[in-house]
Every structure is written in structure tokens, then in C-alpha cells.
Amino acid sequence: MTSPGPDGRPANTPPTPSDSPSAAPPSPGPTPLVLSPGKPIRLTSGALLAEVQPGAGGRLSRLARRDTRGDLFDYLVPLGNDPFPSDEWPKAGAFPMLPYTNMLRDDRLHWRDRTITVREQPAASSSLHGWGLRREWEVVDESPHCCVLQLDCPAQPEWPWHYQAYLSVTLDAQGVDMQLSLTNLSADAMPGGLGLHPYFRWPAGARLTFESEAVWHSPSEDVRWPSEQRIHVGAIEVVSVGGGLDMEGRSTWFAEAPSGSGCFDARIDYAGGLRSATVRSSDAPWLVVHSPAGRPYLCLEPSTHRVGEFDHDHVVIAHGQTLDLTMRIDLA
């Protein structure tokens, strides 16, 4: 957690038009039923290309490398520019999760002496991954290599705290940095959690390797949180057969950072050994690993809290304080 700047924003955050004392903070209103990505922000550095879609939930919508023949190799599943329902988003790109990650048990937050239902109608799955991926973000800074997006969310019945989020995406010749922050603007303390959710290409023959203190499983595909624990200290390797993680049909693993370090280093090597992507985070105690059977994508999601256990495994953010999460993707 970092301290806010003198005006309550995260340190080193560019000012926005709403910082004026006379300007009311923009209100996103209820979750829109349809998101329209619009024209993407394009970032380039060397042979790498990234695109960001503020209108599609602040999503990194493309991450690719151009070879000497001019052909592009996409590491993430590209999003495209077509509108889509906010309740059924394409399994593509990489989006921010806030003010919590994944799903809360029974869509309820038990906070001190209150029980809050986080499901927002009419969006049936609005409790999944929070609200950041369902709103249009504002562009507050843009350059050929970097863009900074901002989201202001006033209190609502489903989340009775006012918060502000910033997402910066910075591309260099070796990869991309994503930095996500969440600041509590309410007078009362707020529970908070952050995550980043990339969809990597996962064709047959690709190999995933990482180290974990322990891996938790969900008991079935109908349960989205861990309820079984398998201790597995050391290196883990998974080879893609075109989708899925194991022979038992589970599509999701919940991995603890090695030795409680809060640091993850997970690598995907693509068949042929010519391309790889390494995901690193130094402030994520958890990594959600997700790949449904038969679907050629793999999600590696650094998270600040355990899925389904937000009531007992969260950060308490005081007024004006900020929670941060970073993810670095190195590409070869």
C-alpha cells in the first residue's frame, strides 16, 4: 500500500479535469448493457505493439510482436473493435479487476456489522471481477509508449464506498508494464482488492512453468472459489493439449506465492521455442490460473486476495489511502 499525494490521488499520478474544486467527479452511472471499444490507443516500441481500449473496461486489447517479414505474433488473444455485452465479455486481452477480484461467496460481502449484496441488476454476472471491466475509463495521459486511464466510481448500493482507480500501461522493447491503483475517497474505511486478468494464447504444445507454495482447487466447474487444498512446493509444469489444466476436468487453480513472498514468476513457452511470455508481479500473494477444456486461452491473474475469501483476506483501505498492484509481461 502506498500513501496518497497531497491532493489524495496516488503519488505521481497525472492531474485530471475532475481535480478542480469546482468540478464534480464524473459518474459512470449504472453498468451499461453494451460496451463499445471504439478506436484503440496504439503503443509501439521496437518490434512490439500494444493496443488499449478505454471504452472496453480499460482493457489491454492486443499485445504482439512484428517479425522481420512484417507478420504479427499475438501473445494475448486480440479483442477486436466490435461492441459486446458487458455481461458476456470476449475472452480476450487483459482487463483490471476491482474493487475485488473474481467472485465473492453468494455475491455477499460481510463487512463489520453489514451484509452487502454485490450483484448489480440487470447484469447477471456483475459480481464477477467487480466493475472496472464494465465501465468506460477516461484517458488522462497518452504518449507513443504509455497511456494512463482513470475511473471514478461514486458509492452505490452494491458497493457503498467512493473509490478512484488509475491504470497505466507502458510498453518498451522487451515487454509491457501494467500498474493498477485503487484509492478510497470515502470517509469510512473500505475493503479492497485488485487483480489483472490477461488471456494468453494457449495452443497445443505450449508449456507453462511456475513455482508455488501451494495450489488450491475448486471442487467442480460450478464452484468458482477454492475449497480443496493440495500442497505443492516447487516447480509446476503444464503442457497444453489445446485447453484445460488437468485430467480431472478442473479449469481453475488458485496458487499461493512461494514462501508467502507475494512474488510470482510464471512463464509460457510456445511450441518450437521461438516465443515466450513471462508474467511477473511483486505484490500479488495469489495467482489464479485458468484454462477451460477445449478453449485455447490461458489466464494468469495476479491478485491481492484469495478468491471467495474476501471477507477474511482483504486489505482495509483508509480514507485517502491507495492499494497498488503491478504486472510485468516480458516477451521473447
Domain residue limits, the chain: 34-331
Q: What is the CATH number of domain 34-331?
A: 2.70.98.10
Residue type, 255: A
Burial class (CB in 10 A: 0-12, 13-18, 19+), 208: buried
Q: What is the pLDDT along the chain (332 residues), one digit of tens a residue?
A: 544 443 334 444 444 333 333 333 334 457 888 999 889 999 999 999 999 999 999 999 999 999 989 899 999 999 989 999 888 899 999 999 999 998 887 888 888 888 888 877 655 555 788 899 999 999 999 999 999 999 999 999 889 999 999 999 999 999 999 999 999 999 999 999 999 999 999 999 999 999 999 888 877 766 667 777 777 778 999 999 887 887 666 788 889 998 867 799 999 999 888 899 999 999 999 999 999 888 899 999 999 988 766 766 678 999 999 999 999 999 99
**140 near 149, Cβ under 8 Å?**
yes
**Bridge partners, 238 (sequence order):** 208
Candidates 151, 155, 118, 157; CA nearest to 135 is 151
Sign, Cα dihedral of 241, 247, 252, 258: negative
Model pTM?
0.88
